[in-house]
Amino acid sequence: MRNSVTRYLIFFQYTGTKYCGVMKIPADRAVQGVGNHLESAVGKLKPVNKFSVVISSRTDSGVHALCNSAHVDIQRSGDKPPLPEHVLVDALNFHLKEEAIRTLDINAMQEAASLLLGTHDFSTFRASSADMHLKNPVKTLDQIQLEPGVSFSQRHFYRDVRFWELTFKSRSFLYKQVRRMTGALVAVGHGRLSVSQMQELLEARDSRAFPTTMTAPAHGLFLTRVQYSDTDLGTCVLDEQLFK
């Protein structure tokens, strides 16, 4: 005698960076939804019924979730009893571990970052703009710092999700210079760009040499502070007095 179908309510979380959203999409697409991976994990439990994971809340491409929910109906073969809650959770987590985000090569990123420190012609790392001919492409990059960061959401994740912070410090930046440097360094970390190729980009001194698809999106980008030297502040006071 077969067991009846048992319905389970599942709570799950995800970083949505590499997914096209939470909903399941056709399997022939290059980028999958979170739902595809959930259903794949349930399938590995070998239910005898035809099932589908019904997700409660839709999220768009790239959106993360600290807690989403879904339900699924599972029927086990023969006279096997329904799966206990903790067994279902452990089993699904085991099969979903394969979808962990690939770790960056931090050493390679730090080596590439060191090439950008100091005074250089950063023409390659600026995007075209109407006033670019008025801007001196020579800038001095005083600091590039790559270190583990802490996201406000990190304490809510039940797995070790690594966040990395890139900090750039300079008196001024060119248009999209920070986003291009960030994108290039991430490409190095993922092995899509070598350290020597980073050097070649810098030496090219040509904005057209930079792959436009490598520019980091304006996500997670912060202006942290603006600093003034005593000389800067003194000049401001003097200018103010002149206009009185």
Question: Catalytic positions, please?
Answer: 60
Beta bridge partners of 55: 70
Beta bridge partners of 143: 169
Residue 78 CA, distance from chain mean position: 45
End-to-end CA distance of the chain: 95
Site of tokens 């590995």: 44
Backbone angles phi, psi at 69, to 5 degrees: -140, 160
- What is the Cα–Cα distance from 78 to 2, expressed in whole angstroms? 5
Beta bridge partners of 169: 143
